[in-house]
Amino acid sequence: MVKKSIFAIALMGLFASMAFAGDEAQNPWKFDDGWPHEVIVVWEELEICQIPVYIDVGYFVELKECNKRKITLVQVPCTSIGKTAADFPCYHDCETIEVRANFNVKLGSKLYKIGNVIEGTKYKLYYSGSDIIVGDGQWHTAEICLDIWSADIFNVPPKYDQMIGEVAITVKPNDQPNCTCDDC
C-alpha cells in the first residue's frame, strides 16, 4: 500500500506541474535589455541602426531601335522643300524616332556626308515639330527630316539604296543648369 501511495503522490505532482506549463508565469523566455533568448540559447536579431542609401544617377537617354532607322531620300518637286527649279534635283525624307530620358532633352543632329552627292551646304537637316523630349522616362516621338537640293547624282552610278551619308542624333539638357556664378 505504501508503494501505491508513493506512486499516487508522484502522479499528482506530475499532473500539478503539467497544469502550470501553459501559464504565462512559467514562460521560458527571459528579456534582458530587449534581447530575447530562450533557456536554450537562440539569438534573435535586434535592429540598432539605419543607414541611408544613396545613388549617383547620371543623365540617361535611350533612342528606341536606332539600328532599324533609315532615311531614304526620294525625289520631290523643289518647290515642296522651299527651293526653285534652279535647285534641281531635290530630295526629301523624314524618319520618326522614339526617345526616352530621365531629364528634359534638346535633340540636335549632324550630317556626315559620304561621297559627293550632297554638295557643300545644300541640305537642311531639321526636326519636324518639337525637338524637346520631356524627361519623364516615357517614350516620346520626334521626327527628323532631311532635304537636299542640287544633288550631284551624275558622279555616282545608278544603285538602289546608295548610301550617301549618316545622320547623327545628338542630345543635351534642355534645362538651364543651377548656376551660382555670373557667367551662366
What are the extents of the domains in the chain? 61-173
Q: Determine how β-strand 74-76 pairs with β-strand 132-133.
A: unpaired
Q: What is the pLDDT of residues 126-167, one digit of tens each?
A: 999 999 999 999 999 999 999 999 999 988 888 888 999 999
- How many helices (H) does the chain have, and how many strands (E)? 1, 10
In this prediction, residue 175 carries a pLDDT of 79
In this prediction, residue 160 carries a pLDDT of 87
Cβ atoms 138, 62 nearer than 8 A? no
Predicted confidence (pLDDT) at residue 182 exceeds the cutoff of 60: no
In this prediction, residue 9 carries a pLDDT of 53
User: How many other CB atoms are found less than 10 A from the CB of residue 181?
Assistant: 5
Which residue in this structure is represented by grid cell 497544469?
19
Cβ atoms 150, 87 nearer than 8 A? yes
Tell whether the torsion through CA atoms of 126, 94, 107 and 140 is positive or negative.
positive
Q: What is the pLDDT of residues 17-35, one digit of tens each?
A: 544 444 455 555 555 555 5
Q: What is the pLDDT of residues 46-105, one digit of tens each?
A: 999 999 999 999 999 999 999 999 999 999 999 999 999 999 999 999 999 999 999 999
Predicted confidence (pLDDT) at residue 12 exceeds the cutoff of 70: no
For residue 119, give the 3-state DSSP assignment. coil
